[in-house]
């Protein structure tokens, strides 16, 4: 009988139905509170609109107090439960507040929510948002990993960030014609601070003024030449880009080898203890 495989799921990951761990970014505590505040403000405005409309109608047509009470109850249910449920169901977890903070409500497995999830969230929200003035929601969210309020815990949902940060531009590689030099170059003696300056210059050179770019490249190349062997007879900027690329690639390879070594040692240790390898 095959041994079961253990899967590590970190706190910032979710497990899909296909047993695939996805790295997710939940909306933070304060952003969730700000977005919820916007939604509550919209609800209050809608409620006031209903009340003013009913008051204006009662001034024209005589309406019994019992009928006004019924209208008020229906209005409260509509504003606090029906409208939020309809909006989140139709928009797949979005609302005005969530759009403002760049989030949306999703299931615990990352899928889109349905009517049941939205209804539970709205129903519980009457207690934790309106009846307690948001105190219960804020308290529960402060002690949950993804800033989940009580309605999220009962519905099995959380707020996912939809505005991902822009990826940094890809780092430039070894300049053309420098491949043979890169294979034998010794850049290990390059000081860490100088290596950072070279890497920063390689990324930002295209945005510099021509004169400043040439001057800084010449100064950095003269400083880096004392720690590089052999020193190729190329333009200072080409030298800097080549040194930065070689150092980056070798550091990346060293980290990969270290990760592979740790993984093999961990697997060997678990095998000796009779545990299935991860």
Cβ neighbours of residue 120 closer than 8 Å, sequence gap 6 or more: 151, 154, 155
**Total number of residues shown for the chain:** 278
Strand partners, 161: 103
Confidence of residue 153 (pLDDT cuts 50, 70, 90): very high
Q: Output the six-digit token pair for 203.
A: 């990324």
What was the pLDDT predicted at 19? 46
88, 115 in Cβ contact below 8 A? no
| Cα 146 to Cα 271: distance, rounded to the nearest angstrom | 35
**pLDDT tens-digit map of 42-61:** 999 988 888 888 778 777 77
**pLDDT tens-digit map of 61-102:** 777 777 778 888 888 999 999 999 999 999 989 999 998 988
**pLDDT tens-digit map of 165-211:** 666 666 677 888 888 888 888 888 888 888 888 888 888 888 888 88
Q: Output the six-digit token pair for 275.
A: 């545990």
Q: Does the pLDDT value for residue 127 go beyond 90? A: yes
| Cα 45 to Cα 27: distance, rounded to the nearest angstrom | 25
Percentage of residues of the chain with pLDDT beyond 70: 84
Where are the domains positioned within the chain? 13-161, 179-272
Cβ neighbours of residue 182 closer than 8 Å, sequence gap 6 or more: 174, 242, 245, 246
Confidence of residue 18 (pLDDT cuts 50, 70, 90): very low
What was the pLDDT predicted at 80? 92
């Amino acid at each position: 009988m095959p041994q079961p495989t253990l899967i590590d799921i970190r706190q910032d990951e979710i497990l899909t139905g296909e047993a695939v761990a996805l790295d997710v970014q939940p909306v933070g505590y304060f952003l969730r509170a700000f977005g919820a505040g916007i939604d509550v403000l919209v609800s209050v405005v809608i409620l006031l609109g209903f009340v003013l409309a009913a008051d204006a109608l009662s001034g024209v047509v005589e309406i019994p107090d019992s009928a006004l009470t019924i209208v008020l109850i229906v209005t409260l249910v509509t504003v606090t439960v029906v409208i939020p449920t309809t909006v989140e169901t139709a928009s797949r977890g979005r609302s005005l507040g969530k759009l403002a903070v760049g989030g949306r409500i999703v299931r615990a497995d990352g899928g889109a929510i349905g009517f049941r999830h939205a209804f539970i969230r709205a129903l519980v929200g009457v207690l934790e948002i309106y009846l307690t003035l948001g105190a219960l929601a804020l308290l529960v969210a402060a002690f949950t990993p993804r800033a989940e309020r009580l309605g999220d815990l009962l519905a099995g949902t959380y707020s996912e960030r939809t505005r991902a940060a822009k990826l940094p531009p890809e780092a430039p590689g070894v300049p053309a014609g420098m491949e043979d030099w890169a294979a034998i170059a010794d850049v290990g003696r390059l000081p860490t601070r100088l290596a950072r300056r070279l890497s920063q210059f390689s990324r930002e050179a295209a945005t510099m003024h021509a004169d400043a770019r040439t001057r800084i490249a010449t100064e950095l190349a003269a400083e880096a030449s004392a720690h590089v062997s052999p020193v190729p007879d190329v333009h200072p900027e080409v030298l800097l880009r080549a040194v930065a690329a070689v150092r980056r690639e070798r550091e990346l390879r060293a980290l990969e080898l270290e990760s592979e070594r740790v993984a093999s040692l961990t697997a060997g240790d678990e095998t000796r203890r009779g545990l299935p390898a991860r």
